[in-house]
Structure 1
Amino acid sequence: MPTINPSATADNAASASTLAEQDRLTLEYLTAVTPEQADGLDVIQGLSQTPKSLPPKYFYDERGSRLFEQITQLPEYYLTRTETQILQQSADAIATLTGPCDLIELGSGSSTKTRLLLDAYQRQGTPLHYLPVDVSGTMVEESAQALLQHYPQLTLHGLIGIYEQVLAQLPPSRFPRRLLAFIGSTLGNLSDAECDQFLTQVSQALAPGDYFLLGLDLRKPVDVLEAAYNDSQGVTAAFNLNLLHHLNWRFQGNLDPSQFRHVAQYNPVADQIEIYIESLQAQTARLKALDLTVTFAAGERLLSELSRKFDLPTMAASLQSYGLHTVHTFTDPHHWFGLLLCQRQPPAPH
């Protein structure tokens, strides 16, 4: 696993404080991918089946990551705002319960909410070691530089890669415990099978006594849900259609985003928002790097994302089956969002 310091060389004008900040920062690119990931076989499979679908990871090129940050600021998008309020009230309790630990965050983005946890550990005089995980190296480095200036005692080890890679290759812990944070309700984007695989990996990556902080979007009125994914400014639509731009860039494609539209609707049977890219007309596109020709009928939909909604007691019981015991539950007055702080239990004796 190659490890780099992003400013191994500095000109003579660099200040001592800047050099000190760089000494506290390491970026690690986890480049190992499976043949399926390298060859885009998941794209071939997803666009060749009926109905069509693609993994949400293809949202996140550099532009996609920035668009998602914009989404979190939208008035209709209650998730980030509500989770932030919960963290403001619970961060000190989380820091007290976990004690000194390595803080690992999957899908760190700009690390905005993470500052609430870092503040809590800092108030308790705990040394700060933060490991942000994201697919965008630019996003990790930019947020890292801001954090290093704000937290003089912070050391930071950025991990650039997808969750599966990172969970399989976590660096040695500096503290007796780890806190693995998966906030923002990203778990809701996974199908039942993907959720099972992910939680199994989490359980295997954590040692007994380590902690897992999980954010969950909870069931709520349909009008609130649908407004959050159909914002008036069209940012969510741009984020969704950016998936096509990403495919074009990555696989030498000629998909025309102007010939598709964003659709998001609630499925009450499955308790989930379903997000689609709908073809406005019959059309054919090609992804040259994959030697793939794709045809769309007028009105045909490609499933780009699921956003499942959860029940806290049910999820706590499910996590227990993975050896993740719920230590504390945090929620807001409307019960729109929840945080579960879990602790990895020793394997059951045979």
Structure 2
Amino acid sequence: MATTSVMHTVLVPVKQDQQEIFFQDVIRGLSAKNKYLDSKYFYDAEGDRLFQEIMGCHEYYPTNCEMEILQEQSALICETILAHTNRFDVVELGAGDATKSIHLLRELLNTGKDFTYYPVDISGNVISQLEQSLPAQLPALKVHGLHGEYFDMLQKANVLSAKNKVILCMGGNIGNFTPPEARKFCRRLRSYLQPGDLLMIGFDLKKHPQIILDAYNDAAGITRSFNLNLLHRINRELGANFDIARFDHYATYDPGTGACKSYLVSLEEQDVTIGSQTFHFGLHESIYMEISQKYDLESAEQLGTQSGFETVGNFFDKKKWFVDTMWLSI
């Protein structure tokens, strides 16, 4: 799961075109032979709140690992950035509450460089919070929030500024794709960048399987509520009639492939209606919700090479459970 979250909840109405896209995506997923829902829709206001709780679970290690990296190595990361560009803006994909990236932003401000921070998030709730909170914490920081899909907003940032871009794609968000999808994503991302642009991307590394599985199946059941919340959202925004009590959460991890997957499982045979369409669920039929792909360092670096980047720095937490890798566009 992507580490996007906020500390407060301010519900931002969904525009009509976004509502229609949401509807079509849900219909497409539930019409598939193997039903699925798009994990990007987890993050309404309640989803943001629940994910904030997940990040506080002792089982959920990625946030603490990456926080350690940013707290203790931002000066080194900053040196790496300045070794390759002196005129840049910072674009963060899936900015969340910026509690990690704020350490790097503060370090960059201390260099005296004139840059703008462009946080990008699909959650308008997140962007509203950042535009209120960051100026209070870093008065010298110029913030221009971008609410929408990654590539649309990256294109907008390129129109707004001709400077080199330092792209932040942290939180292990790349793990939300299968390896082939990740390659496609990174290659597409590279197509929006110029030679000399930088991308810092976070990878959750392979480790003992139980540590990983526990992180996506916490004892308090918060991850379960987080997944089920998407059914609540579909009910509320699309007029569906999911009976939440008739579904349960199931997580699985394959240490061979590094794929950690989450499902919702129908506890009985049932029909669910959305608008004029009805979807049948068999007993124990599952809805695939998301993947959280784990990497080793070799496969992460290979992904960069295959996508048009050169690795210029690796920043690990002390346990080496997580790495923020700096890639240079070539």
Alignment TM-score, normalising by the size of structure 2: 0.89
Which of 329, 344, 349 matches 2:314?
329
- Provide the aligned length of Structure 1 versus Structure 2: 314
Shift of 1:200: 1.9
The correspondence for 2:116, drawn from 129, 135, 159, is 129
Deviation at 1:151, TM superposition (A): 1.1
What is the CA distance between 1:31 and its match in structure 2? 7.4
Partner residue of 1:112?
99
Q: Distance between the aligned counterparts of 1:54 and 1:196, measured in 2?
A: 21
Q: Is the 8 A contact 1:30 1:161 kept in 2?
A: no
The counterpart of 1:199, out of the listed 169, 186, 190, is: 186
Deviation, 1:252, is 1.3
Offset, 1:47: 0.9
In the alignment, structure 1 residue 178 sits paired with structure 2 residue 165: yes
- Aligned partners of 2:323, 2:267: CA distance in 1, in Å? 38
Q: Retained in 2: the 8 A contact 1:102–1:129?
A: yes
Amino acid at match of 1:144: E
How do 1:302-341 and structure 2 match up within 5 A? 302-341=287-326
Consecutive unaligned residues of structure 1, counting only runs of 5 or more, are 1-28, 346-350
1:39 positional shift: 6.8
- 8 Å CA contact 2:151, 2:189 repeated in 1: no
Please point out which of 74, 84, 95 is paired with 2:57: 74
Corresponding letter in the other structure for 1:54: L
Contact kept? 1:216, 1:339, Cα under 8 Å: yes
Question: Within 5 A, what are the aligned runs for 1:38-187?
Answer: 38=21, 40-99=23-82, 100=86, 101-172=88-159, 174=161, 176-187=163-174
Give runs of aligned pairs for residues 15-26 of structure 1, distance below 5 A: none
Candidates 253, 278, 285, aligned match of 2:265: 278
Quote the residue 1:229 is aligned against: 216
1:13 corresponds in structure 2 to none
Once the two structures are overlaid, the 10-residue window that deviates more, 259-268 or 166-175, is: 166-175
Pick closer, same or farther for the CA change 1:94–1:39 going to 2, 3 Å. closer
Instruction: Please give the alpha-carbon distance, in whole angstroms, between the structure 1 residues aligned to 2:143 and 2:163.
Output: 17
Q: Which of residues 255, 274, 278 is equivalent to 1:268?
A: 255
Does 304-313 or 50-59 show the bigger shift? 50-59
| Alignment check: 8 A CA contact 2:118 2:157 kept | no
Rg larger for? 1
CA contact (8 A) 1:167 1:201 kept: no
Amino acid corresponding to residue 237 of structure 1 in structure 2: R
Residues 1:33 and 1:336: Cα distance change in structure 2 (over 3 Å): farther
The alignment partner of 1:304 has SS state of strand
Contact 1:331 1:338 in 2 (8 A): yes
For residues 220 and 150 of structure 1, the distance between their equivalents in structure 2, rounded to whole angstroms, comes to 35
Structure 2 residue matching 1:53: 3-state secondary structure: coil
Q: 1:38 to 1:175 in 2, by over 3 A?
A: closer
Q: Which runs of 5+ in 2 are unaligned?
A: 1-12
